[in-house]
C-alpha cells in the first residue's frame, strides 16, 4: 500500500512541477508557444520512466516468485523508453532541417521510406525484446494482476496518448457500447 501511495505521489509531483514550470515560463514573457512546445530534459524523461515503472510494480503487488521475472521486464521497458526518448529528441532536432528541405522541394521519397523502414525495424526489435521479457512475468500473474497489468501498462503501448484523447472526445466509456 505504501509503495502505491509513494508511486502516485511521485507521479503527481512530477506532473505538478511540469505545470508550474510552464506557468513560470509564460509569466516570464516566453509566450504560449514555449509552454505548448515544452521538451522534456533527460532528467524529466528518467523521472517519468521511474514513476511508470514504480506505479506498475506497486500496482501488481508481485509475490516473491513473481519478483524473479521483474528485472528482465524492467530493463527491457527502460531500454524501450530510452530509445523512444532518443527518437523524439532526434525528431525535434530535425524538424527545422526538414521544414527547410520541404520548402526547397528537396524531399526524396525513397530516402524517407528508407529512414522509416530503419526506424520501424529498430522499434520492432525493441518491442520484441519487451514482449519476450514480459512473457514470463505476465504468465506468472493471477487474473487480478493481469487485469491491473493491462490497465497500468497502457502508457507503454504505441500511440497511448492518442487512445486517451480519443476516449475523451468520445465521452469516456462510450466506446464500450
Which pLDDT tens digit goes with each residue over 94-140? Answer: 775 555 555 545 678 998 899 899 989 999 999 999 999 999 999 99
**Residue 85 is assigned to a structural domain of this protein:** yes
Q: Is residue 50 part of a domain?
A: yes
Angle at 85 between CA 20 and CA 156, to 5 degrees: 90
pLDDT of residue 35: 53
**Residue 126 falls within a domain, yes or no?**
yes
Which pLDDT belongs to residue 176? 46
Please state whether the predicted TM-score (pTM) of the whole model is above 0.75.
no
The backbone region for 141, taken as left when phi is positive above 0, alpha when psi lies in -120 to 50, beta otherwise, is beta
30 inside domain? no
Q: Is residue 18 part of a domain?
A: no
Q: Is residue 147 part of a domain?
A: yes
pLDDT above 70 covers a percentage of the chain that reads 61
Mean pLDDT of 41-57: 90
User: Does 98 reside within a domain?
Assistant: yes
Torsion sign (Cα): 21, 26, 32, 33? negative
Look-up of cell digits 501511495: 5
pLDDT at 85: 87
The Cα–Cα gap between 97 and 138 comes to 43
Residue 172: inside a domain: no
Q: How many domains does the chain have?
A: 1
Report DSSP letters for 16-72, one per residue: HHHHHHHHHHIIIII-HHHHHT----HHHHHHHHHHHHHHHHHHHT--HHHHTTHHH
For residues 104 and 162, the answer to whether their CB atoms sit within 8 Å is no
Q: Residue 71 sits in which domain range? A: 40-165
* C-alpha to C-alpha distances, 90 to 29, 84, 94, nearest whole angstrom: 27, 10, 6
- Reference 162, options 30, 170, 114; nearest CA is 170
Amino acid at each position: 500500500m505504501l509503495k502505491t501511495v509513494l508511486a502516485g505521489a511521485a507521479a503527481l509531483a512530477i506532473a505538478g512541477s511540469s505545470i508550474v514550470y510552464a506557468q513560470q515560463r509564460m509569466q516570464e514573457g516566453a509566450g504560449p508557444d514555449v509552454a505548448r512546445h515544452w521538451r522534456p530534459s533527460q532528467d524529466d524523461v528518467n523521472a517519468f520512466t521511474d514513476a511508470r515503472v514504480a506505479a506498475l510494480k506497486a500496482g501488481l503487488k508481485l509475490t516473491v516468485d513473481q519478483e524473479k521475472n521483474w528485472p528482465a521486464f524492467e530493463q527491457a521497458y527502460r531500454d524501450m523508453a530510452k530509445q523512444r526518448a532518443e527518437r523524439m529528441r532526434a525528431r525535434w532536432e530535425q524538424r527545422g532541417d526538414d521544414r527547410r528541405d520541404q520548402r526547397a522541394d528537396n524531399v526524396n521519397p525513397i530516402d524517407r521510406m528508407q529512414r522509416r523502414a530503419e526506424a520501424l525495424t529498430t522499434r520492432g526489435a525493441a518491442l520484441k525484446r519487451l514482449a519476450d521479457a514480459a512473457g514470463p512475468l505476465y504468465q506468472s500473474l493471477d487474473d487480478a494482476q493481469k487485469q491491473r497489468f493491462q490497465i497500468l501498462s497502457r502508457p507503454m503501448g504505441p500511440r497511448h496518448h492518442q487512445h486517451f484523447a480519443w476516449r475523451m472526445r468520445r465521452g469516456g466509456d462510450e466506446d464500450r457500447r
